[in-house]
Amino acid sequence: MKRVYMDNAATTALRRDVLDAMMPYLTDIYGNPSSLHYFGQEAHKAVENARHQVASALNAEDNEIVFTGCGTEADNMALKGIAEKYQSKGKHIITSSVEHHAILHTCEYLEKHGFEVTYLPVDEYGMVKAEQVRDAIRSDTILVSIMFANNEVGTIMPIKEIGAVCREKGVFFHTDAVQAVGHVAIDVKAMNIDLLSLSAHKLHGPKGVGALYIRKGIVVPPLLHGGAQERRKRAGTENVAGIVGLGKAIEIACSDIEGTSKRMCYLRDKLINGIEASIPEVKLNGHRTERLPGNVNFSIKYIEGESILLMLDINGIAASSGSACTSGSLDPSHVLLAMGMPHETAHGSLRLTLGDDTTEDDIDYVLEVLPEIVVKLRKMSPLYHG
């Protein structure tokens, strides 16, 4: 059966050339980077080379990069670290209502520990405006954390403008850029970003490795205490092969970000236009142009997102829905709700996310299969009278 993977926002395939770069560190070069002998020093060199690759991709300095165990850890480290270190300046944090749970649940944790969090609302496209951030900053605000691009609807936030406001007001600015790094050009200096989280497995690298960029001069205490790894910012023996994979993946992804983005936007728009042309009563979620190159997200009226997913899966297409399945009960997407969508419709969205390996043939296959599925499901829907 033909199989089409369109869930690249959940995770991506490890590139073959990234695996090739990692392989020596899973086999012959197994030393601990902290060891002084040949095996250790070769591993150490590889970690430092990867640090340079990550820093270069962001226009940062090598010593501004800390490797972590995942994007979630980078988010936790940024928020908890800044809260702990700078709480004498104030205990107010600003974020958005459409963040990933790695941010939202960390904020809830901080609220339990005496911090106050403002969750900025978003417009119908899922966007936060820089002026909203400016209006929300108070004298006791220490941190603003706004995601670079949304993982459900793909909306890209006005990061440069938000960064400028934060710098002007003297408030630290963190961005969860897990969905954006390797897909959208990022320059931490030009964008006034103080802290940035990223994760390898969202850009065709391995799972279980991420990084936090911390601008020079900002102190972020460690989450993990122990050895002196990562300049005492993250104890624990380094995931050498994973770090090498992250470095290689980010280098490849950023070597031709414009070319890849152009190709992906073409495929994305073909899919969006094709769905709109062949299926009545659908609504594109997120912004039409300020959008990740690989993200397509639709609400398809009268049917449940989950039933479409099952039918797509039977036909070999891996997609996901905007709603998260929590302990058996189906919660509507907090992102779609924040965008003003009614509860009923927030259940029924379909997310198709493309990757480097997506072909035009894949798009054509989805456009062949999906409309038929929708017709079938609508015929069975008690809500549909079309």
Ligand X SMILES: *Cc1c(COP(=O)(O)O)cnc(C)c1O
Give catalytic residue positions: 325
To the nearest whole angstrom, how small is the minimum distance from the Cβ of residue 108 to ligand X? 15
Q: To 5 degrees, how large is the angle CA 21–CA 24–CA 28?
A: 175
CA torsion, ordered 275, 147, 71, 261, to nearest 10 deg: 50
SS3 state at 154: coil
Minimum Å gap between C-beta 73 and ligand X is: 7
Asked whether the CA dihedral 157, 179, 325, 287 is positive or negative, the reply is positive
Q: How far apart are CA 211 and CA 177, in angstroms?
A: 10
Beta carbon of residue 347, minimum distance to ligand X (angstroms, whole number): 21
**Residues near 269 by beta carbon (within 8 Å), at least 6 away in sequence:** none
Toward ligand X, which CB reaches closer, 154 or 305?
A: 154
Q: In the complex, what is the shortest distance from the CB of residue 105 to ligand X, in angstroms, rounded to a whole number?
A: 11
Cβ-based burial of 314 (10 A; exposed 0-12, middle 13-18, buried ≥19): exposed
Shortest distance (Å) from residue 194 CB to ligand X: 17
Q: In sequence order, what are the residues at sequence separation of 6 or more whose Cβ sits closer than 8 angstroms to the Cβ of residue 135?
A: none
Name residue, tokens 């963190």. Answer: 174
Toward ligand X, which CB reaches closer, 96 or 260?
96
Return d(Cα 207, Cα 237) in angstroms, integer: 17
Neighbours of 88 (CB within 10 A): 7
Tokens 């850009």 sit at which residue? 203
* Rounded distance between C-alpha atoms, residue 12 and residue 199, angstroms: 11
Distance CA 275, CA 285 (A): 13
Nearer to ligand X, 70 or 110 (CB): 70
* Min separation Cβ 199 and ligand X, Å: 3
Side-chain-facing half-sphere of 158: CA atoms under 13 Å: 16
Residues lying near ligand X in the complex (CB under 6 A): 70-72, 75, 100, 102, 147, 151, 176, 178-179, 199, 201-202, 210
Dist CA 243 CA 233 (whole Å)? 16
Q: Looking at beta carbons, which residue is closest to ligand X?
A: 71
Nearer to ligand X, 145 or 315 (CB): 145
- By beta-carbon proximity to ligand X, the closer residue of 151 and 349 is 151
CB of 311 to ligand X, least distance (A): 25
DSSP secondary structure code for residue 301 in this structure: T
**141 vs 295, beta carbon nearer ligand X:** 295
119, 108 in Cβ contact below 8 A? no
Minimum CB distance to ligand X smaller for 33 or for 205: 205
Residue with tokens 């940035």: 196
Other Cβ atoms less than 10 A from the Cβ of 190: the count is 11
